[in-house]
Amino acid sequence: MATKMDAYWMPFTANRQFKQSPRLLAKSSGMHYWTPEGREILDGVAGLWCVNAGHARPKIVQAIAEQAAEMDFAPPFQMAHPKAFELAEKLVEITPAGLSKVFYTNSGSESVETALKMAIAYHRVRGDGARTRLIGRERGYHGVNFGGISVGGIVSNRKMFGTLLAGVDHIRHTHDLARNAFSVGQPEHGAELADDLERLVTLHDASTIAAVIVEPVAGSTGVLLPPKGYLERLRAICDKHGILLIFDEVITGFGRTGQPFAAQTFGVTPDLMCVAKGITNGCVPMGAVFASAKIHDAFMNGPEHLIEFFHGYTYSAHPLACAAALATLETYADEGLLTRAAQLQGYFADALHSLKGLPNVIDIRNIGLVGGVELAPLPGEPAKRAFNVFLDCWDQGVLVRTTGDIVALSPPLIVEKPQIDRLVGTLAAAIKRCA
């Protein structure tokens, strides 16, 4: 019987197109999905940048099942369960030095809201309560809640939703096709774009600015890498003015760029770091904010029986999520997955950059096991060419992702070289067919 499709209003989906020509997934294992009819699909995007260890990993499956049977839920306010502590200790073993406190959420969007609130409240508890302004970056993606879309810089995610948060401004994005097209790894040009923060300090005065939030590698907007020296410069400007630096590592966290976190890949440590997705290998919704001890400790004053930070979610530190995350970290460690992208990035880069010269390919970008291929838009029909490429790849049994006219690849970190060849080969054929 055909699935009835009227009731489900799908997120971030062309609902009418989808329901005319559905793309359903029914099963997953390792590097693959299968459709309900049994057609095999090679997963070129780790589900949605999250299934970093590949699908249906036995340790994780077992941990979730056992936890559901043992204890389904534990209230996280004024109560806790042992795995929440165990997981936090394990997580801070792999975070950049200094980020030693973990606050649990259930998604990337919630991690962003949490970090923004932490930043503003941190200044206030220190007696610097005028620092309320938040700075994002053009083309940034920080989830879909009001704080996240306010600091975010993707026009279509903002324009329908009114005036957003007050007191937010944006630095310029770093995409520069004229100077950096077809860079392998970090582009050479654009470190000076970090100085845009100085412009906003001049405009607003540092004493009003709480934090700057950026993705170390902007993912959802189409894989934009930080120019060499850019993040270092941003860090230095934040330090100079007492502004907190927040990295949104929801995509880059858990091995995507070749180190556990992009902060380590680029050698720049933020004050707060947002994660989600790969924390549980995508199996159970979970996110987290990592904070420096300096930030955490600033809250730990006042009468000891009073709550220090009025924030949290019913499902913060959910037992199923904690169990899944612990098993995920074990799987990552057993198989060296958090640094595997560094070993494969040369091969992946060569494969991806072999697409240069194909019709309409105007840029190729890569780091670790993430890549972006930018296409020239069809005249008058933005986003359509890449969408056609996506549909063509799907028909050929390969899942890629598109945003505007950019095709993104981010395979599970267990990917093997022949699978990289298949991914890129299928993409090449699709790009030619959609010329």
Ligand X SMILES: Cc1ncc(COP(=O)(O)O)c(C=O)c1O
CB 252, min distance to ligand X, A: 8
Rg of the Cα atoms in the chain: 21
Q: Give the integer Cα–Cα distance in Å for 249 and 253.
A: 5
Q: Does 112 bind ligand X (CB under 6 A)?
A: yes
Distance of CA 24 to the CA centre of its chain: 24
User: Would you say 215 or 363 has its CB closer to ligand X?
Assistant: 215
Q: Where on the phi/psi map is residue 298: left (φ > 0), alpha (ψ -120 to 50), or beta? A: alpha
Nearer to ligand X, 44 or 360 (CB): 44
- Report the residue number, 111 or 360, with the smaller CB distance to ligand X: 111
Which part of the chain contacts ligand X (CB under 6 A), choosing from 68-76, 107-115, 349-357, 368-376?
A: 107-115
d(CA 333, CA 348): 22
Task: Report the residue number, 324 or 430, with the smaller CB distance to ligand X.
Answer: 324
The DSSP call for residue 287 is E
Q: Does 276 help bind ligand X (rule: CB under 6 A)?
A: yes
From the CB of 257, what's the least distance to ligand X, in Å?
13
Q: Which is nearer to ligand X, 45 or 298 (CB)?
A: 45
Query: Which residue in 32, 57, 142, 318 binds ligand X (CB under 6 A)?
Result: 142
- Dig out the tokens for 47 from the structure: 């589900």
CB of 168 to ligand X, least distance (A): 16
Residue 108 touches ligand X, criterion: CB under 6 A: yes
What phi, psi does 170 have (nearest 5°)? -135, 140
Closest CB 66 distance from ligand X, rounded Å: 25
> Can you tell me which of 52, 67, 100, 107 binds ligand X, judged by CB under 6 A?
107
User: Which of 251/361 has CB closer to ligand X?
Assistant: 251
Q: How near is the Cβ of 1 to ligand X at its closest, in Å?
A: 32
Site size with ligand X, rule: CB under 6 A:
14
**CB of 248 vs ligand X, minimal distance in Å:** 4
| Token pair 């904010």: residue | 289
Say whether residue 141 binds ligand X (CB under 6 A): yes
* Residue nearest ligand X, Cβ-based: 108
- Identify which range of 104-112, 164-172, 196-204, 405-413 contacts ligand X by CB under 6 A: 104-112
**From CA 231, how far away is CA 104, in angstroms rounded?**
26
Half-sphere exposure of residue 145, counting CA atoms within 13 Å on the CB side?
13
CB 143 → ligand X: shortest distance, Å? 3
Q: With CB under 6 A as the contact rule, which of the stretches 22-30, 105-113, 363-371, 425-433 interacts with ligand X? A: 105-113
> Which segment (33-41, 135-143, 179-187, 403-411) binds ligand X by CB under 6 A?
135-143
Residues 400-429, interacting with ligand X (CB under 6 A)? none
* Minimum CB–partner distance for residue 414 and ligand X (Å): 21
Q: What mask of x and - would describe binding to ligand X in positions 210 to 249, judged by CB under 6 A?
A: -----x---xx---------------------------x-
- Residues at the interface with ligand X (CB under 6 A): 107-109, 112, 141-143, 215, 219-220, 248, 250-251, 276
